[in-house]
Structure 1
Amino acid sequence: MKFGLSIKFVAALSLILMAGCSPQSKKASSHQASSSQMASNTSSKTSKPQKQSRLATQQGQIKTALKACVTNASGKTAGYVKQIGDHQPVEFSGNRRQRSASVIKIFVMIEAFRQIKAGTLRLSDSISIPQSDKVGGTGVLANQNTQHLTCGQLLNLMIKNSDNTATNVLIDKLGGLGPINQSIKKLGCSNTSLQRKMLDYSALQSGRDNYTSASDVGKTLNMIYTHRLLGSGWDTKMLNLLQGNANQTKIPAQIKNSATIYNKTGEFPDYGVQNDAAIIQKGNRAFIAVILSENGTQSSQINAMSYLGKRLYQIIFE
């Protein structure tokens, strides 16, 4: 009988203890979860302003570097810099219309690939090279006795070697200035126009030159790099051409061994023109930098561009 009472007593005591501990345990667990959630919310709230602050600081540094380039380049200089992604571009006179020099060849390339995509032209098409299209300046084709080249070979010479003769032949093959300007218009590049073939001095004397703006070129490069111009396959082919550009003496000069470079330069010493339009990529990050400079001194222009490339590399990648 005493043994039975003892068992009942122990059982009752256990029930009381369990009843007493259970709510406290749940309360403690709930408190821990609540504290964890509060910590997470606090972290989320603090990290967003910190990220915005970092981005604002970085944009400020980019603006300072671009302003220094524009100031030191001499002459009339415009600039455009944009990190690939959801970043706003930084510009100085980005919409100002300036002499394009060979940077206009980017738009000739785009129209060529538009026609190739449409099926009216093929990279393997053989194209004749008339004597009337042979001009000096940059490139090697004018001094060769070459009668025919494929469309692909001409594009390669135009972009990688900035060959003026190859450019003139392609302009003719694409239907003249009209289709290229129509393509430019469809891109929304309101400050860009192709008004003459390469080294057409009679056109220059009558007031017709090729023009673009830093913003037009920057936005176009962004579309190519993000595969929103003609589509991934065609845009990749254009990037491959830009990656092989032989002239990397300007924006990429001090960083070309540390990053992947896609660029197209332009020079016209008669008018003090030094231009460069570049995409600089490292890992999964990239930025676009476009500098158009005219009526300036070559050494000042090139030094300013080289400094900008190095400084942007430090700000964005390091």
Structure 2
Amino acid sequence: MEQLSQSIERIIEQAGGKWGISIEELDTNNSWSLNEEELFYAVSIIKIPIMIAVFTAYEKEKLYLSDTLELKVEEMVGGSGVLQHLSPGIKLTINDLITLMIIQSDNTATNMLINLIEKKNIQQTMKDIGMQKSKFYNKLMTVPATLQGYNEITAQEVTMMLKKIATGKIISRHACERMLAIMKKQQLTDCLPAKLRQADSTIIGNIPEWQLANKTGFVSGMRHDIGIFYVGDRVMVTTVLSKGLDDNHSKDAIAKVGLEIYHYLKR
């Protein structure tokens, strides 16, 4: 772990900016962190607690994932995602909305789920997880007239949340398995997994060399990627938060961190 932490420190020192990092290998409990208690603007990382809040309601039988919601014009917002380009009036299942929120970071899908679950329940979910400093206040791509606060996270609390998902300690093992399956379908792959490639195989159905269940988040001058690395029988929970540097530099640095983690777990 010492060699890995030194490699990561070199990468972020060369990149510049401010970083909050927290990593933990689950089978050994070896961990390392940097600025892990510092608050960062959450951007789309907040979508993981929102997903957890939806699955909490599902487990309590307050809704079914097969229930449908209608896309309304007043809910359509810009930024990431495909729903902003579709026709109002279409109906999507809650499961489809969760999937779009995570794998495409769809902001319209996110806001539809926030309206469904309600802000207070998302806030309570975060408290139940153990997120004390991290906060949720606002929908995505909207600016409320009265701003109560900002959506914020710390690296330490995000890693704690991911560890609980990876070990089946949030809601239920079944819920955690379903959430991880969605996260593994991530389509935004220009950060932690950007420098990783799966080896070609002539055998259909081979177990992949590695998997990553992750979620990205970015706005100008700020880029994060969080995830759970699965390499062979080793697992590492990873949170990498950044601010105050050029977007191309942050993407490249986070990709290098992902590669170093892969090599560490591969060894």
- Is the Cα contact below 8 Å between 1:96 and 1:191 reproduced in 2? no
Q: Structure 2: where are the runs of 5+ without partners?
A: 199-208
Q: AA paired with 1:273? A: M
1:146 Cα offset (Å):
4.1
Inter-CA distance 206–233: structure 2 relative to 1 (3 Å threshold):
closer
Residue 229 (structure 1) aligns with: 170
Of stretches 112-121 and 304-313 in structure 1, the one that deviates more from structure 2 is 304-313
Question: Aligned residue for 2:206?
Answer: none
% identity of equivalent residues: 26
Q: In 2, are the aligned partners of 1:74 and 1:297 still within 8 Å (CA)?
A: no
Choose the corresponding residue for 1:101, options 43, 48, 54. Answer: 43
User: How far apart in 2 are the matches of 1:307 and 1:283?
Assistant: 20
* Residue 206 of structure 1: how far off its partner (Å): 4.3
TM norm structure 1: 0.77
Identify the match of residue 266 of structure 1 among 203, 217, 225.
217
Moved over 6 A (4+): none
Aligned partners of 1:256 and 1:211: how far apart in 2? 32
Looking at structure 2, the residues matched to 209 and 70 of structure 1 have their Cα atoms a distance apart, in angstroms, of: 26
Determine the C-alpha separation between the residues in 2 that align with 1:107 and 1:231.
15
Mapped partners of 1:252, 1:191: distance in 2: 28
Residue 239 of structure 1 aligns to a residue whose secondary structure is helix
Encode CA deviations 1:124-160: one digit per residue, 9 max, x unaligned: 1111222221100000101101422110110011001
- CA distance in structure 1 between the aligned counterparts of 2:183 and 2:167, rounded to whole angstroms: 14
Work out the CA distance in 2 between the residues paired with 1:290 and 1:151: 27
Pick the aligned partner of 2:112 from 160, 164, 169.
169
Question: What letter is aligned with 1:268?
Answer: V
Query: Which residue is equivalent to 1:56?
Result: none
Q: What residue number does 2:264 align with?
A: 315
C-alpha distance in 2, partners of 1:107/1:306? 24
In structure 1, runs of 5+ residues without a counterpart are 1-58
Superposed CA offset, 1:265-315 (max 9, x none): 00111xx11000011102221112211111211111111111111112112
Aligned residues: 256
Query: TM-score normalized by structure 2?
Result: 0.91
The answer to whether structure 1 residue 138 and structure 2 residue 80 are counterparts is yes
Amino acid at match of 2:149: R
Larger Rg: 1
Question: How well do the aligned residues superpose, as a CA RMSD in angstroms?
Answer: 1.6
1:23-172 paired onto structure 2 within 5 Å: 59-147=1-89, 148-172=91-115
In the alignment, what sits opposite 1:39?
none
Which amino acid is the alignment partner of residue 180 of structure 1? I
Structure with the larger RCO, 1 or 2 (CA within 8 Å, 6+ apart): 2
Aligned to 1:37: none
Mapped to 2, the partners of 1:129 and 1:208 lie a distance apart of: 27
